[in-house]
Amino acid sequence: MDEQGIFEACFSLAEDLMWEKNTAPLDKIAAQIDELSRMTNKYVRIVKKNFFIIEDLPNRQEIMISAIIHLNALAIPPLKGNYHWFEYSLITLLEIVNPYSSAGKRGIPFLLAARNGLDQMIEWANYPDDE
């Protein structure tokens, strides 16, 4: 496992979840570095605990890191200490990537809508950042 990449993604997540998005955390980081470190380490432990879901996939490192980045983009801070949100959301994303169960035909409407949403997010991700 790419522990450095996982740690960096988890640190970025922890940092972004500590404060409201419109606050400048530079003056707050020094005072809350211990909590930030605890959050990062807890996120890393959650990632390691659930890595088995994708461990058989060839690009598992990239999948895990980008799943963390995706959750960071979706999060509405502050969520500090809300580890259940992170773990449940991460598991959901990883199970979509590497499914091991199905809701059958009754789940098809959701799956089709999810596929359309994913196609739209992929299209948006391919736009240059300056547009």
Q: Report the pLDDT value the prediction gives residue 28, as an integer from 0 to 100.
A: 66
When comparing pLDDT for 70 and 28, which is higher? 70
In terms of Cα–Cα distance, which of 33, 1, 5 is closest to 18?
33
Do the beta carbons of residue 18 and residue 36 sit within 8 Å?
yes
Which range of residues forms the domain containing residue 36? 3-101
- 85-101 average pLDDT score: 92
- 111-124 average pLDDT score: 93
**How many CB atoms sit inside 10 A of residue 54's CB?**
19
Burial tier of 34 (Cβ tally within 10 Å: 0-12, 13-18, 19+): exposed
**How many CB atoms sit inside 10 A of residue 17's CB?**
23
Is 119 within a domain?
no
Total number of domains constituting the chain: 1
Is 71 within a domain?
yes
pLDDT tens by residue, 5-63: 999 999 888 888 876 666 555 666 667 788 889 999 999 999 999 999 999 999 999 99
Is 11 within a domain?
yes
- 84-95 average pLDDT score: 94
Is 113 within a domain?
no
Is 47 within a domain?
yes
Determine the Cα–Cα distance for residues 68 and 86; give it in Å rounded to an integer: 9
Do the beta carbons of residue 50 and residue 90 sit within 8 Å?
yes
Is 117 within a domain?
no
Query: Residue 71 has which token pair?
Result: 């959750």
Is 97 within a domain?
yes
Q: How confident is the model at residue 122 (pLDDT cuts 50, 70, 90)?
A: very high
Helices (H) and strands (E) in the chain, counts: 6, 0
Is 123 within a domain?
no
Determine the Cα–Cα distance for residues 106 and 104; give it in Å rounded to an integer: 5
Q: Report the pLDDT value the prediction gives residue 26, as an integer from 0 to 100.
A: 63
